[in-house]
Amino acid sequence: MEQKPVEALAEAQARAELAELAAEIARHDRAYHERDAPEITDAEYDALRRRNAAIEARFPALVRADSPSRRVGAAPAGGFAKLRHGVPMLSLDNVFAPAEFTEFCERVRRFLGRKEEPLAFVGEPKIDGLSISLTYEAGRLVRGATRGDGLEGEDVTANVRTVRNIPQRLHGRAPAQIEIRGEVFMSKADFLALNAAQQAAGQKVFANPRNAAAGSLRQLDARITAARPLSMFAYAMGEASEIPTETHWAWLELLLAWGFDVNPLSKRLASEDAAAAFQAGIGAQRAALPYDIDGVVYKLDDLSIQRRLGFVGRAPRWAIAWKFPAEQATTVLEAIDIQVGRTGALTPVARLTAVNVGGVLVRNATLHNEDEIARKDLHIGDTVVLQRAGDVIPQIVAVVTEKRPANAKPYVFPDHCPVCGSLAIRPPGEVVKRCTGGLICSAQVEERLIHFVSRAAFDIEGLGEKTIREFHADGLIRGPADIFRLPDHEAEIAQREGWGEVSARSLSAAIRARRRIALARFIYALGIRRIGETNAKLLARHYGRFANWREQMLAAVAIGSEARSDLGNIVGIGAAIAEELAEFFAEGRNVDTVDELTGLLEIADAEQAAGGGELAGKVVVFTGTLETLTRPEAKAMAEKLGARVTDSVSKKTDLVVVGADAGSKARKAAELGVRTVTEAEWRQLVGEG
């Protein structure tokens, strides 16, 4: 989307954008910190934060109470006990270029009133992991906490005890109480091995070593953490009963003596120039290092100077992270393959001459869609620049046109499905070209089958992607109904390579266990375009019983029918999604598949959300930050149950749902004696708890 320059924003626009940014950044913080599954790159995230800061700088009066600039990271996730940090765990400001580093040094000198004197630093590679706080009392490890939102983290004591190089006891003399901080990380090689094992087991794969480390440490079952190859480098002090050294360098030496690992590349640097040389040296070694680093942290060595400089906002004035540019490499584009997805989408994938980008061997890159190939003017045989920004899947950023071979041909996107040969079409206004083959396209069938057994659908244990592909290729499964006939072929499966009687028997049991299924899961499992989990739940709640849903969907095939308009009127569904459903049910083979399945399954009724419920006709207000729902989602839920959602609390309000950090509205509700409920109570009330 085109962004208006900050200088051109009117106040109302700025206010609206700050509200959007607060919500968006909070959402990404949760994805990153709580689910260890970021949806955007670090660079995109930084851009959001920078935009927020720029708008706030121009409109200081509009800074929100929940502004991202006032928070670090996300609130602690449920599951772990919370621990308050005695000294907040803060973040670092970044620079990207020598001139910016010089500026930082000048700021420091100005602050200290020293014009010419060189500044002495310690440089430490900035490990891309997650920060950890370890508290030792009388030399014994008593507590481990994640950073959380910087003020309050999660109690991961049991987990940190399993990290091999975290000492349980400090060697030698230790203060009565001291908190050590450092970075927990996973090596690149261990990360790749873990992902390979996860993939083979049909489990979640991690986007990068940092997420793998975070996901491994934040396990409720510490035995899982113990099985993961994590390490820590110590680098900072938190709360302490005495401050044992006068320089940061001496502190690092003390950490070593106590038994911690300190990054061996850390170095004392006597001047700004020495720091710049160090930056170049580490940059040159970066790709060969066994772990991911994204820059170097420079800390003023003298702790008394650190104390004088103190903090501004969420970062110290006495340290800076000098980040490296994203890792790049050049290689040759050998071919472009087209993958066909569950809904027929044709996705181009670049096949590359294998190349090492920042320590990870890369052979493929996503190209997203037809337009992107055209925009980059890719020819087969082109030399291309690849970039990996923390993530494993790299992107092609540019073509080196000077190196284009004379006979290189521009890539022509196919008009037909490369798997089934059906026509591929791209509706006007859309970027994705789709195979029109539907169920005759074996690629679509296979992807649908994989979706059908996935976690949020039938979730059949032991029937992962690999097995589905094999069984489909061998004709053992042609459609979803065949899955439920697999137990009849148990003896045959037991004979297959990699199987045996025991695993074949457990597969049969796992399949039988899923013969009864909730309506929402069943609808989701069908893999209808645009019917994700949320929409499937909306449909299930609306129609209640399978038979009713089926009947109404068939009736909705007719444009202008009452059933179609009823479907489109469901809050959260709308006309476009109604059309997808109608299209699905207009296809006889789809209806046959559904009917074949229902003969083999027991589909449980959903609790139907119709008029007369507790909330019908009630006036509801949401306030504060909701943890598990977005505002539009919460609103849709309320309206679905017949409630009306308003913005302000008055005597007419029946119910106030109070999220975190709620302010005046919650107070007003208390004053007026309006009923208030927590988010969890609300979920129970609407039957989602």
Closest to ligand IVH by CB, 183 vs 190, is 183
Minimum CB separation of residue 176 from ligand IVH in Å reads 23
Report the residue from 38, 202, 316, 359 that binds ligand IVH according to the rule CB under 6 A: 316
126 touching ligand IVH, by CB under 6 A:
yes
Closest to ligand IVH by CB, 212 vs 638, is 212
Q: Which candidate in 82, 115, 126, 299 is catalytic?
A: 126
The question of whether 115 is a catalytic residue gets the answer no
**C-alpha span between 106 and 119 (Å, rounded):** 10
Binding mask 176-195 for ligand IVH (x = CB under 6 A): -------x------------
Report the residue from 180, 186, 309, 321 that binds ligand IVH according to the rule CB under 6 A: 321
Closest to ligand IVH by CB, 249 vs 549, is 249
Closest to ligand IVH by CB, 68 vs 344, is 68
**C-alpha span between 372 and 361 (Å, rounded):** 24
452 touching ligand IVH, by CB under 6 A:
no
Minimum CB separation of residue 286 from ligand IVH in Å reads 14
Closest to ligand IVH by CB, 230 vs 297, is 297
Closest to ligand IVH by CB, 153 vs 437, is 153
Closest to ligand IVH by CB, 92 vs 507, is 92
Closest to ligand IVH by CB, 295 vs 624, is 295
Which two three-digit tokens encode residue 238? 């938190």
Minimum CB separation of residue 73 from ligand IVH in Å reads 8
Label residue 475 left, alpha or beta by phi (over 0 means left) and psi (-120 to 50 means alpha). left
Query: Which residue number has the CB closest to ligand IVH?
Result: 131
Minimum CB separation of residue 231 from ligand IVH in Å reads 13
Spatial contact of 55 and 49, defined as CB atoms under 8 Å apart? no
Sign of CA dihedral 614, 616, 618, 623: positive
Quick one: which segment of 126-134, 241-249, 500-508, 639-647 binds ligand IVH (CB under 6 A)? 126-134
Minimum CB separation of residue 297 from ligand IVH in Å reads 4
Minimum CB separation of residue 630 from ligand IVH in Å reads 27
Which two three-digit tokens encode residue 355? 């190349």
Which amino acid makes up residue 23? A
Q: What angle do CA 247, 249, 253 make, to 5 degrees?
A: 115
Quick one: which segment of 210-218, 313-321, 501-509, 616-624 binds ligand IVH (CB under 6 A)? 313-321
Spatial contact of 624 and 661, defined as CB atoms under 8 Å apart? yes
Partner residues linked to 316 by β-bridges = 311
CB count, 10 Å around CB of 131? 21
Q: Which of residues 233-272 bind ligand IVH (CB under 6 A)?
A: 235-236
Spatial contact of 188 and 290, defined as CB atoms under 8 Å apart? yes
DSSP label at residue 220: S
131 touching ligand IVH, by CB under 6 A:
yes
228 touching ligand IVH, by CB under 6 A:
no
Minimum CB separation of residue 127 from ligand IVH in Å reads 5
DSSP label at residue 77: P
- In the chain, % helix, strand, coil (3-state, to 5) comes to 40, 20, 40
Minimum CB separation of residue 124 from ligand IVH in Å reads 4
Report the residue from 55, 74, 119, 127 that binds ligand IVH according to the rule CB under 6 A: 127
Spatial contact of 3 and 54, defined as CB atoms under 8 Å apart? no
Q: What angle do CA 413, 419, 420 make, to 5 degrees?
A: 110
Q: What angle do CA 638, 32, 459 make, to 5 degrees?
A: 65
- Run of H or E including 644: strand 644-646
HSE at residue 39, side-chain half, CA atoms within 13 A, is: 10
- The torsion of the CA quartet 555, 540, 477, 479, rounded to 10 degrees, works out to 10
Binding mask 73-112 for ligand IVH (x = CB under 6 A): -----------------xxx--------------------
Closest to ligand IVH by CB, 93 vs 566, is 93
Spatial contact of 660 and 627, defined as CB atoms under 8 Å apart? yes
HSE at residue 152, side-chain half, CA atoms within 13 A, is: 10
Report the residue from 105, 120, 297, 615 that binds ligand IVH according to the rule CB under 6 A: 297
Total number of residues binding ligand IVH (CB under 6 A)? 14
Closest to ligand IVH by CB, 313 vs 532, is 313
309 touching ligand IVH, by CB under 6 A:
no
Minimum CB separation of residue 45 from ligand IVH in Å reads 12
Burial of 229 (0-12, 13-18, 19+ CB in 10 A): middle
Closest CA to 298 of 547, 136, 107, 436: 107
**C-alpha span between 507 and 92 (Å, rounded):** 50
Binding mask 17-56 for ligand IVH (x = CB under 6 A): ----------------------------------------
124 touching ligand IVH, by CB under 6 A:
yes
Report the residue from 18, 213, 319, 378 that binds ligand IVH according to the rule CB under 6 A: 319
- The torsion of the CA quartet 138, 143, 148, 154, rounded to 10 degrees, works out to -160
Integer angstrom CA distances of residue 498 from 320, 450, 489: 53, 20, 16
Which amino acid makes up residue 228? R
Minimum CB separation of residue 300 from ligand IVH in Å reads 12
Quick one: which segment of 10-18, 315-323, 544-552, 610-618 binds ligand IVH (CB under 6 A)? 315-323
Q: How many residues does the chain have?
A: 689
Mind telling me the catalytic residues?
126
Residue numbers at the binding site for ligand IVH (CB under 6 A): 90-92, 124, 126-127, 131, 183, 235-236, 297, 316, 319, 321
